[in-house]
């Protein structure tokens, strides 16, 4: 227990979390602080490229084995399964209708790449290695949850959701996934030699860029909380905190079954605990336009993301360390 | 200077639906349109601003078409098939253009 508090305190006082808190506080205090849209986009491109590249280099360095394929499969299964858990939990905790509950559930099967990036940063700070291919697992977990959400809706009213080929292509080829997987492949192909060539660009500035990006995420989360707070009841907010805890346990089980390292298990927990606020909301606007975006965006961005960033990540790390030894 | 009667159709719609709308318009032989970003606004679904968005699913755009009056019904049918279930506004106004052969 002491470990959890020590790690939580260390995490809370890190520049990354404090930058997020600054953004969150500024937004809640209605400051006009903002990160220009183009700058925020550039920061996210940098982070996705860096994390993808470093993951690819790690795979090139350590080689490929069966665990990569099995981890990808586990990620896909988790992404498809977690919305079903989220849907049931949400229906128990709140009186949300089936359509909105299914839309929310889809977000909790998919992942938050920013939470993943923050978790890798914490692992690096602790000197804990992780499987480089977890980046690929993150990319694989983006889409299956959307299908599960649409299936949940179709069970209720015979097919309100539409997942046409165009939407399918947009989800699978959205910019974040293409950049993440593309950078992963470049890192894999060029290996440690390639990393040495661009190390001063993608390693040293990484945490500073992450701080600025999380400042922006704090601003977005705070504004999301303000605009969406009326859409959420107590049960929904409780879901936004309990679901990541439940999801992380599924990730823990998968990590242990796959024999992942402590760092890899922690990342699998983080992926299972996080909720999407980029790919899935866009897909839901097309496939389920009747669902209320204030509900699912406020939950994933305004409740679950801050919870994971501030308390979840250290908690998952301590649990992963305790279980995997 | 001589001017000609035309219809100006403004369709404010979610960014994520933009390509679907323009594809439908082109299929209806509406090949001329202008797309502009929307900075922010407020409506039945609440208020929002472009600078506060993290997801492209939340952004809005405005598609502006200026067409001959006899083409209006075909355009509206095409647009309605896309925007029917979605957040947005469709408005039609009369306007005058200088070069009728371009519309």
pLDDT by residue for chain B (103 residues), tens digit each? 889 999 999 999 988 889 999 999 999 988 899 999 898 887 776 667 766 566 555 678 999 999 999 989 999 999 998 888 888 899 999 999 998 777 7
Contacts of A306 in chain B (CB under 8 A): none
Is B83 at the interface with chain A, CB within 8 A?
no
| Interface contact flag, A286 B85, Cβ < 8 Å | no
- Binary contact (A220, B14; C-beta < 8 A): no
Residue A70 pLDDT: 94
Residue that is written with structure tokens 């080829």 in the block? A173
> Which domains does chain B show, CATH number per domain?
4-102 (3.30.70.120)
Q: How confident is the model at residue A180 (pLDDT cuts 50, 70, 90)?
A: confident
Q: Which residues from chain A sit within 8 angstroms of residue B53, using beta carbons?
A: 220
H or E element at residue B14: strand B4-14
Single pTM value for the model: 0.84
* Total number of residues shown for chain B: 103
CA–CA distance, B53 with B61 (Å, rounded to integer):
13
ipTM: 0.72
From CA A69, how far away is CA A323, in angstroms rounded?
Answer: 23
CA atoms within 13 A on the CB side of A75: 27
Query: Where exactly are the structural domains of chain A?
Result: 2-324
Residue B57 has its nearest CB partner, among A224, A282, A292, at A282
CB-based contact A285 B45, cutoff 8 Å: no
A316 is written with which tokens?
């998952």
Q: Is residue A293 a contact partner of residue A284, using CB atoms and an 8 Å limit?
A: yes
CB contact under 8 Å between A293 and B52, yes or no, is no
Task: Please name the member of A220, A284, A292 whose beta carbon is closest to the beta carbon of B52.
Answer: A220
Instruction: State how far residue A153 is from chain B, nearest Cα, in angstroms.
Output: 16
* Interchain contact B42–A (C-beta under 8 A): no
pLDDT at B66: 94
- Interface check for B46 against chain A (CB to CB < 8 A): the answer is yes
Q: Please determine, for residue A220, whether its predicted confidence score (pLDDT) is greater than 70.
A: yes
Is A283 in contact with A146 (CB distance < 8 Å)? yes
Any chain A CB within 8 A of the CB of B20? Answer: yes
CATH of A2-324, picked from 1.20.1530.20, 3.40.50.9100, 3.20.20.70, 3.20.20.140, is 1.20.1530.20
Mean model confidence pLDDT for chain A: 89
- List, in sequence order, the alpha helices (H) in A127-233: 134-140, 144-157, 165-172, 175-202, 206-228
Q: Is B85 on the interface with A (CB under 8 A)?
A: yes
Taking CA–CA distances from A301, the nearest residue in chain B reads B54
Contact A293 B50 (CB under 8 A): no
CB contacts of B54 in chain A (<8 Å) are 217, 220, 277-278, 301
């Amino acid at each position: 227990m002491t470990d959890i508090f020590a790690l939580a305190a260390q995490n809370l006082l890190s520049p990354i979390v404090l930058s997020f808190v600054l953004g969150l506080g500024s937004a809640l205090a209605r400051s006009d602080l903002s990160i220009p849209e183009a700058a925020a986009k550039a920061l996210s491109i940098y982070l996705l490229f860096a994390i993808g590249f470093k993951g690819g280099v790690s795979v090139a360095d350590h080689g490929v084995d069966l665990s990569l394929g099995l981890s990808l499969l586990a990620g896909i299964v988790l992404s498809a399964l977690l919305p079903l858990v989220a849907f049931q939990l949400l229906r128990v905790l709140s009186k949300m209708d089936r359509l909105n509950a299914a839309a929310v559930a889809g977000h909790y099967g998919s992942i938050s790449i920013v939470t993943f990036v923050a978790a890798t940063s914490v692992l690096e700070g602790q000197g804990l290695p992780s499987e480089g291919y977890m980046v690929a697992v993150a990319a694989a977990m983006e889409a299956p949850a959307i299908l599960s959400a649409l299936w949940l809706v179709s069970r209720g009213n015979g097919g309100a959701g539409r997942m046409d080929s165009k939407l399918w292509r947009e989800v699978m080829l959205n910019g974040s996934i293409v950049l993440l997987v593309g950078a992963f492949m470049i890192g894999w192909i060029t290996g440690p030699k390639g990393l040495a060539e661009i190390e001063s660009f993608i390693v040293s500035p990484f945490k500073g860029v992450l701080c600025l990006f999380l400042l922006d995420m704090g601003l977005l989360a705070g504004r999301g909380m303000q605009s969406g707070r009326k859409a959420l009841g107590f049960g929904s907010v409780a879901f936004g905190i309990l679901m990541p805890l439940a999801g992380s346990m599924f990730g823990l089980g998968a990590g242990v079954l796959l024999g992942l390292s402590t760092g890899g298990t922690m990342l699998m927990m983080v992926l299972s605990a996080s909720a999407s606020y980029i790919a899935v909301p866009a897909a839901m606007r097309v496939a389920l336009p009747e669902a209320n975006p204030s509900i699912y965006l406020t939950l994933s961005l305004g409740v679950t993301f801050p919870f994971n960033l501030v308390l979840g990540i250290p908690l998952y790390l301590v649990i992963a360390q305790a279980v995997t030894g | 200077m001589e001017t000609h009667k035309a219809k100006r159709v403004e369709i404010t719609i979610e960014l994520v639906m933009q390509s679907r709308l323009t594809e439908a318009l082109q299929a209806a032989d509406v090949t001329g349109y202008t797309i502009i970003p929307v900075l922010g606004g407020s409506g039945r679904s609440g208020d929002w601003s472009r600078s506060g968005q993290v997801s492209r699913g939340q952004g809005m755009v405005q598609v502006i078409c200026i067409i001959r009056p006899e083409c209006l019904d075909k355009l509206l049918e095409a647009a309605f098939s896309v925007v029917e279930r979605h957040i947005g506004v469709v408005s039609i106004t009369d306007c005058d253009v200088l070069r009728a052969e371009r519309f």
